[in-house]
Structure 1
């Protein structure tokens, strides 16, 4: 295909993403304000005032996996990321399933959840009394939010990145403002370094549960790497942005966690983090006594904005992954269509936005509890494709690991440890999710969360069989074809 100088081989616009924009996309995709408010309480219920230790420990496999993403991107900068890398390392079946189906499914479920959260918070702030408690109203507003953000994502990365600067700035300002105010309140405890000691946790079970919860709040930073072909330095910048994003997230979460613990403690009543009534929305419970009612609404706005920002990033990243799969012959050619003016995968963007809207409406009609359990099952999918990608790094570079100490550590030892930790998290998650008490639904004594997670992966296995029949060339020669079509800076 003939390309203009400002286009990549897939028709995307070169040089439209700088380092700051990439970091912004990575941070926004994690939805830090939303993630910490819906997770910190459950972590505190599991390990008490050692919640910061769990936040730190949960960061370790994420950081190790980030090294794998960075090294693979340096070698193979392609917007297909995990799909391309896993295909090159393990072959087309693994690439299509673990690098394509699993992350795309996790993202689609997350998009439905994020649309619901953003709509509910918006109705709570601006709608009539009780509107946020009506599932139909929330679903309707969620569909409208998805429509608006799909339009923004389709218009191009520069516009999307500009919006993300504003949305991310509001989130970080709200979180750090809350933290400073909480630490300054009379009676707030002095933060203790002992809160970072994972060895003080009473038993492995609670620590494992807390760490698994923490994996979810770091998930999503890898979305920025799908813009690698549009970055100004496709080989290095996305990897740098990934590491910067994860470190900023760690600092933000630890600061917020320390501040919340200092102010509220771990009591099981009132604003305490040990109060089960606060677990699902910690910052909403703590914001009024910390900031006062008028400013507390800003925290609700931050959560709403956080969910919307993450949703926008999903609408940027997932269509680019599908674009790469289509370009390599693993999906219908329509997904490779690029808008002639905006240089975005317009067909894929509309498809993902529409699919998320349909999923939101479907799960809302079935049960709000069902949607909640669908969100919880994402942890299983995250551990699967992060772990597979980390091991793909080790396998792909296996013949070069003796070339230098740097290669041995950054392409071998650290990704291997990260991959093993992720697979251990996968096994532990599956074990815990079988319990019917895990989540809100169950079927014949088996947890609904496990059935949704395992069911989505079983559906992926069926989808692979269907794809093999449809895209025979990719499944026959996919590894060689991917190698031949890899994007380079000289395209």
Structure 2
């Protein structure tokens, strides 16, 4: 419903039905923490900075800054839509209200869940690998069977925490996020203080210095992944105090914190290591997959380098926990509105959390991880690369949904025109342009690690996910005709099931 101090928030909308979640569980700080945790800042910068540097050299900070622009514009769209429709279904509800049930189910529901599950397979694997290393079990970290078994164990552990309630999840995240940010801050300070570290240059932020549109687009697309995940905090809007206002504020604040943390780490890494193609240089392909693992020993020393390994492990596990929280609430909302089977709407009578949806998120991810592992280890890597395609798809659609939903109110004030019209429109168009460019690049059989009949495996996985979504949509339409038949402004009352 519209914010009480925002009479012209947009077209009238029905209030979010009570789904059994515990109201007022978290505040602004906890909400920001949940958003940052899902992004996994230590993990994201570790596995992305090297590839960005390989693409554009010491212009990596500029790529991080430019990649942040469509993210911030999209965050404004999320904020405005959340003020008008504070529902834990977020993109599913908003896209349905703007464009109808078919677009809402596919891009706001299926695409979001597919991206989340694929990302969680990587997070569980990375978390398991680093956990084994931190425990001194390096030989097991090289065993696919041991890593997969440990990853499944981590999924079970985070599901157990998420099952117990959002307040417990938030408390755990305070500790996990604090460790990550402290590790990145310590690494950056130590890198700048090392003898021979270069003085940072503003030229590294020059947006006009890219060697061409291709490298620029590729670097920015990589940066979309590094910021992705902050929107998970909005799925807790029904459990947030003053959620229609606070969740939107938290979305914008979390993206700004991420930008600062990433730029600081990137400047520090480039100042210390440079962009050379040998040794610890960030231009060395051997370092690209995890720059912090390469740089931590010479920057921090062997003992503190272990702390950086722990930070990356914690980062992955933290993101897993928030991903389970966000995914379960998304499917809970879909079920409450009649778009998924009622079993997804089950809530625990004491913990007030989605029960089946929480277990389903962890179980589906575990199954997907095992399946991709059985197919090929390279196939799993390509599955992660295709997540960027799905991110650009649903972020872009949500930004455009904001413009369309508020279209009749854009001339009411300069603020409405700017934050509900111009900025989300620019963000949506940039996201969809990134989607098109990414799909074009992924078609190349040399993109990623696998190919099939001359077509890149990453492209097949990304487009295949969308095609599978279309088939699932047809099945959902046959099973839930009422949702697809009703007008887009009408949401069915929930039929909640208590465990």
1:31–1:306: 8 Å Cα contact kept in structure 2? yes
1:246 match = 255
Q: Distance in 1 between matches of 2:367 and 2:106?
A: 23
2:174 match = 165
User: How much does 1:367 deviate?
Assistant: 1.3
Q: Distance in 1 between matches of 2:341 and 2:479?
A: 9
Matched, 1:455 2:464: yes
Unaligned runs of at least 5 residues, structure 1: 1-6, 487-491
4+ residue runs over 4 A deviation: none
1:107 match = 116
Q: Quick one: which of 75, 90, 95 aligns to 2:84?
A: 75
2:387 match = 378
1:425 match = 434
Q: Distance in 1 between matches of 2:212 and 2:493?
A: 50
2:322 match = 313
1:347 match = 356
User: How much does 1:257 deviate?
Assistant: 0.2
Q: Distance in 2 between matches of 1:242 and 1:452?
A: 29
1:8–1:229: 8 Å Cα contact kept in structure 2? no
Q: Distance in 2 between matches of 1:400 and 1:46?
A: 42
Q: How do 1:208-219 residues align onto structure 2 when only pairs under 5 Å count?
A: 208-219=217-228
Matched, 1:153 2:172: no
Q: Distance in 2 between matches of 1:478 and 1:387?
A: 23
User: How much does 1:480 deviate?
Assistant: 3.0
2:444–2:455: 8 Å Cα contact kept in structure 1? yes
1:338–1:346: 8 Å Cα contact kept in structure 2? yes
User: How much does 1:26 deviate?
Assistant: 0.2
Matched, 1:54 2:79: no
Q: How do 1:38-437 residues align onto structure 2 when only pairs under 5 Å count?
A: 38-437=47-446
Q: Distance in 2 between matches of 1:223 and 1:344?
A: 16
Q: Distance in 2 between matches of 1:438 and 1:479?
A: 39
User: How much does 1:117 deviate?
Assistant: 0.4
User: How much does 1:17 deviate?
Assistant: 1.0
Q: Distance in 2 between matches of 1:275 and 1:385?
A: 34
Q: Distance in 1 between matches of 2:293 and 2:98?
A: 45
1:489 match = none
TM-score by length of 2: 0.95
User: How much does 1:8 deviate?
Assistant: 7.1
Q: Distance in 1 between matches of 2:43 and 2:352?
A: 31
SS in 2 for 1:147: helix
User: How much does 1:485 deviate?
Assistant: 5.9
User: How much does 1:363 deviate?
Assistant: 1.1
Q: Distance in 2 between matches of 1:357 and 1:478?
A: 37
User: How much does 1:105 deviate?
Assistant: 0.5
CA deviation vs aligned residue, 1:241-290 (integer Å, no higher than 9, x gap): 00000000000000000000000000000000000000000000000000
SS in 1 for 2:471: helix
TM-score by length of 1: 0.96
2:42 match = 33
2:17–2:493: 8 Å Cα contact kept in structure 1? no
Q: Distance in 1 between matches of 2:17 and 2:386?
A: 36
1:8–1:230: 8 Å Cα contact kept in structure 2? no
Unaligned runs of at least 5 residues, structure 2: 1-15, 495-499
Q: Distance in 2 between matches of 1:16 and 1:455?
A: 38
Q: Distance in 1 between matches of 2:95 and 2:426?
A: 17
Q: Quick one: which of 455, 473, 479 aligns to 1:464?
A: 473
1:8–1:14: 8 Å Cα contact kept in structure 2? no
User: How much does 1:62 deviate?
Assistant: 0.1
User: How much does 1:130 deviate?
Assistant: 1.6
Q: Distance in 2 between matches of 1:87 and 1:118?
A: 35
Q: Distance in 2 between matches of 1:449 and 1:225?
A: 29
